[in-house]
Structure 1
């Protein structure tokens, strides 16, 4: 985006995938020229002079090598040595008013406040920019009356942005795990929307859909594909109205990041660090937590990283327990793909003078529209029961299947621990076990109803528990199968001892629990054996669904 810069840099606002580009369409729809030349309001320091002086090393109180400037529709970002400074343009539009110095200062402060939630090491604060009338000199964070304000940030290496890592094939599972945990914890503590707000209501979600659809329709050269995609989204929006309302009642509409895609996350000290949230548009930030997460899920799918996409969503769900969000995840991910298509089409429109590049972008937009429909049409619903004693390898195999097959896994070991005020030793008592299996069944019902293939990861040593899930699958009209995991007793004991010594696994089953399982287990009956999947099967979901047809 910035040409052949040195590796140590900051791409501050990326058009690729950003919700910011939706706002460009709002301007363009009213006046096509406004997207390229926003109205400038007079300020104490003329814009041209400010930009010129900010590109001089003398303006900064520190070494300012490799001085560069990035211009967006709303800001100038100055790259100066180890730091970056983001200065708002003095503009007034229908969705933002930066026409006064106070308004620009307030937005800088808001950007710092919001982004420090997830990136405190990047966002260093708001600094004044002063002007010497006698010499015309500009001083960043210096003495004198401020003529502007800037958000001061640390610069970072472009190759450490997750989009670059994904493109280079260097995005690792452990980074996805850390990111999922971070987002889940962030969402858990984010403020909840107030009762009088319109955020997250079915009507507000519909408005977002229609605004984005209008932008895609205005820019696309393939009307039938756009129409098919938008019609499918509208159909699902109608069907999900009660789900949207339920999400709001369930306190899932929160002050989120709003623009959480791979291009807005960087590794800092090896830790994924989201930055550049949507500070200037509350309506795009106060959203369903699952809509926030759906951007990353979609982005990984679009990058061809299906295994990591399902690793992310499974880890996120395990961390926060929000399996009810599966009902809206396909719609929200599809919406994110539509947003990405709109952004690509906007960029193609701006590059009409270079037909080859514009055509490539339109091809990418077509791919995103295809993904948008695919996300809504996918229905691989089935239920796979893991079966076996503790230590038999159920969870390992379930995790592998979840990534390889695009499945949602719900683990008894994790769900058992969500029970508050129950000591670990009591979590294997009959009443607690029954409660855990009911929870697994409820989650499988939610996921399968949304079209996801589900994995119930538990021992399933009691016939009545297996029967419960077979009955559930029958009521839902989905296929059911069993993955039978077997190991000799010595191996089981060794694995459990190693697991307990490591202390990192969610399972609390010790050797006493294993002994009780061995003594009370009820082997699979003949009918159940007919549903066991062969160990050598590579495409498990098609096999399960195909066998039931």
Structure 2
């Protein structure tokens, strides 16, 4: 349903306030290049080096800014919450006073406040990630830094109390149904929209136990809530999320994967599939929340549905001007298509990287994950995660076995959700390779091997360089390499039938047997003695 807005009287008429905010004399600093950006809820006045965000005196079905005190409180809440991720951007809340005699207003001056504003450091619109993505200027290093930032933010965010409604299946369903009703009501293709909604509802019902498990495992936290490319800007070269959902606790206290799924979906919607998978792989590697793969498709699909809902509302508001309404209406259809695609993807398979330390496994695995939308799990990272094992003991048989069990558990979860998985480890033992082929048989998914080879001198040189750099997750030194060379069990004849040729592209269809060749038939059987 469409939003019903009520304008509420305030101490300074909104039209007059907007007019006066365009006067340079209203500001306590030079105010060149005065501009205004208007949203549903606010006016943002750009003045010199600063920006001032003023709430509109309106009352909607989801927010009430009908009193000056309510607007002040929301400004303070916005500053408090956004300073978690953007402390240099949010400078504070300032009063706006009004002189009834002269009609002048004064930002952050003396007198009785007629309004309040969030004062922010002004930034260039071309530095917003949405603009960078549109212009092809978004870099891998920025995606990596952003994924690390979000993972670290989620790790320290407050956890929802067990008695709260946040993250419960019922609350998730309410949010979904509210959005779904608006989509169906406003869509120009209601049957297609209803089919998407029905598919999402089926997934939500199947995931009820998983939602509860996510609550128990402390993944419902006070998140950003609106984490998309248009709400992230480069400040001093660092990606900086801003404009979180301060006015709605229920949309902010959510699953950390729901928060991350918005950015994942937005990168996909922008046509940056490689960047989307680079981001999600980096995020998962940083935080270790591979259990979130079970809900990622649903949450990303939900984000696409919400985006479609907003676009349909915009098209509805422009109904009297068909030429203007055509663009948001077309974008809404595209988002509904994406919502379905996210739920229907199922090209699950498992690719084992194989080779000695320094043979280039991780480099190739990273390239494949980004190019083909695969989820990679690295033994070099997982052996260090949370087990409090001394570095010198991480290559002992018991620790190695534990690492491979974790890789298998993650691949089982990811492949079971429909993702093609990469297990990035040496796989020098036939026992470890057999575990994954057995897993593939149980899951009914194809398993293949990427065999990475380099001569011993090259291996030693790469390991020395890696150790000097000190930036790689691998702890394998020359002693580990020598032990690997002495104890490795080469691929047998049957296993070699599952090795993908180095020039194969794309890899995932090849592994899954969609090419119809001999390898595909062998791979689909997963028969390894």
Q: TM-score, normalised by structure 1?
A: 0.92
- State the partner residue of 1:155: 122
- State the partner residue of 1:467: 434
1:314 aligns with 2:300: no
- State the partner residue of 1:271: 238
Q: Secondary structure at the match of 2:58?
A: coil
- State the partner residue of 1:178: 145
1:136 aligns with 2:103: yes
1:93 to 60, 66, 88: 60
- State the partner residue of 1:248: 215
Compute the displacement of 1:57 (Å): 1.0
- State the partner residue of 1:304: 271
- State the partner residue of 1:222: 189
Alpha-carbon distance in structure 2 between the residues aligned to 1:369 and 1:88: 31
- State the partner residue of 1:417: 384
Q: Out of 145-154 and 536-545, give the one that drifted further.
A: 145-154
1:195 aligns with 2:158: no
Q: Out of 237-246 and 314-323, give the one that drifted further.
A: 237-246
- State the partner residue of 1:83: 50
Compute the displacement of 1:45 (Å): 2.2
2:470 to 498, 503, 507: 503
- State the partner residue of 1:397: 364
Alpha-carbon distance in structure 2 between the residues aligned to 1:116 and 1:351: 36
Compute the displacement of 1:101 (Å): 2.0
- State the partner residue of 2:516: none
Compute the displacement of 1:70 (Å): 2.7
- State the partner residue of 1:65: 32
- State the partner residue of 2:260: 293
Alpha-carbon distance in structure 1 between the residues aligned to 2:14 and 2:315: 28
1:239 aligns with 2:206: yes
Alpha-carbon distance in structure 2 between the residues aligned to 1:449 and 1:245: 19
Query: Higher relative contact order at CA 8 Å, sep ≥6: structure 1 or structure 2?
Result: 1
- State the partner residue of 1:280: 247
Q: Could you give the per-residue CA deviations for residues 312-369 of structure 1, whole angstroms, max 9, x where no partner exists? A: 0000000000000000000001111111111221222222233233223222211111
Q: Number of paired residues?
A: 516
1:518 aligns with 2:468: no
Q: Could you give the per-residue CA deviations for residues 449-493 of structure 1, whole angstroms, max 9, x where no partner exists? A: 100000000001111111111111111111100111111100000
Q: Out of 422-431 and 82-91, give the one that drifted further.
A: 82-91
Compute the displacement of 1:53 (Å): 1.7
Q: Secondary structure at the match of 1:464?
A: helix
1:437-476 equivalent positions in 2, closer than 5 A: 437-476=404-443
1:346-361 equivalent positions in 2, closer than 5 A: 346-361=313-328
Compute the displacement of 1:49 (Å): 2.3
- State the partner residue of 1:363: 330
- State the partner residue of 1:166: 133
Compute the displacement of 1:146 (Å): 1.6
- State the partner residue of 1:344: 311
1:127 aligns with 2:94: yes
Compute the displacement of 1:44 (Å): 2.3
In structure 1, stretches of 5+ residues that fail to align are 1-24, 29-33
1:488 aligns with 2:455: yes
1:5-16 equivalent positions in 2, closer than 5 A: none
1:330 aligns with 2:264: no
Q: TM-score, normalised by structure 2?
A: 0.96
Q: Out of 419-428 and 405-414, give the one that drifted further.
A: 419-428
1:434 to 377, 398, 401: 401
Compute the displacement of 1:386 (Å): 0.4
Q: Could you give the per-residue CA deviations for residues 30-62 of structure 1, whole angstroms, max 9, x where no partner exists? A: xxxx3xxx3222222222222222221111001
Q: Out of 65-74 and 471-480, give the one that drifted further.
A: 65-74
Cα RMSD, aligned residues only = 1.2
Compute the displacement of 1:64 (Å): 1.1
Alpha-carbon distance in structure 1 between the residues aligned to 2:320 and 2:8: 30
Q: Secondary structure at the match of 2:96?
A: strand
Q: Out of 81-90 and 263-272, give the one that drifted further.
A: 81-90
Alpha-carbon distance in structure 2 between the residues aligned to 1:372 and 1:92: 31
Compute the displacement of 1:525 (Å): 1.1
Compute the displacement of 1:69 (Å): 2.4
Alpha-carbon distance in structure 1 between the residues aligned to 2:13 and 2:198: 47
- State the partner residue of 1:109: 76
Alpha-carbon distance in structure 1 between the residues aligned to 2:85 and 2:213: 28
Alpha-carbon distance in structure 1 between the residues aligned to 2:25 and 2:176: 47
Compute the displacement of 1:95 (Å): 2.2
Compute the displacement of 1:197 (Å): 1.2
In structure 2, stretches of 5+ residues that fail to align are 514-519, 525-529
Q: Out of 335-344 and 185-194, give the one that drifted further.
A: 335-344
Alpha-carbon distance in structure 1 between the residues aligned to 2:109 and 2:335: 47
Q: Out of 68-77 and 527-536, give the one that drifted further.
A: 68-77
1:369-408 equivalent positions in 2, closer than 5 A: 369-408=336-375
Alpha-carbon distance in structure 2 between the residues aligned to 1:487 and 1:524: 15
Q: Could you give the per-residue CA deviations for residues 113-160 of structure 1, whole angstroms, max 9, x where no partner exists? A: 111111111111001111222222111101122221110011111111
